[in-house]
């Protein structure tokens, strides 16, 4: 398989997430804010079961592309699942957790220039 860029991976993950019952899907370019990763992909799942299903779906589709997650946290309770793909980290939030933590506000530029909303295919 040819090398995939971190932006391409983030976009692919958005597309995969969009296949499931999620909302408010976006990417945040954090290359200027942290050395840990290049992009955060963020979405909201209406309940823990949907969040867990989205997590499993992402893993299955990306494994078929020979891309493997290095670490997953939060999968047990499904309120905030974090999937680490190295240069892309996925955050799957239960609705209340996303509203409470306001995650994208922590990482967005004041003008939101580093946030891109996924509108579907």
pLDDT at 84 over 70: yes
User: Residue 1: its pLDDT value, please?
Assistant: 47
Separation of alpha carbons 116 and 73, rounded Å: 24
**Token pair in block for residue 111:** 């003008």
Q: Which CATH superfamily is domain 6-117 in?
A: Beta Polymerase, domain 2 (3.30.460.10)
User: Residue 2: its pLDDT value, please?
Assistant: 63
pLDDT at 107 over 90: yes
| Least trusted range by pLDDT, from 2-6, 8-12, 70-74 | 2-6
Rg, the chain, Cα only? 13
User: Residue 3: its pLDDT value, please?
Assistant: 81
């Amino acid at each position: 398989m040819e090398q995939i860029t971190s932006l391409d991976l983030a976009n692919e993950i958005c597309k995969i997430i969009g296949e499931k019952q999620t909302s408010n899907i976006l990417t945040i370019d954090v290359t200027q804010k942290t050395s840990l990763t290049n992009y955060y992909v963020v979405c909201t799942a209406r309940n823990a079961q949907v969040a867990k299903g989205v997590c499993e779906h992402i893993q299955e589709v990306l494994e078929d592309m020979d891309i493997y997650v290095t670490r997953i946290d939060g999968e047990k309770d499904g309120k905030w699942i974090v999937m680490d793909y190295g240069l892309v980290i996925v955050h799957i939030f239960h609705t209340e957790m996303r509203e409470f933590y306001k995650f994208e506000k922590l990482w967005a530029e004041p003008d939101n220039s580093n946030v891109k909303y996924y509108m579907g295919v």
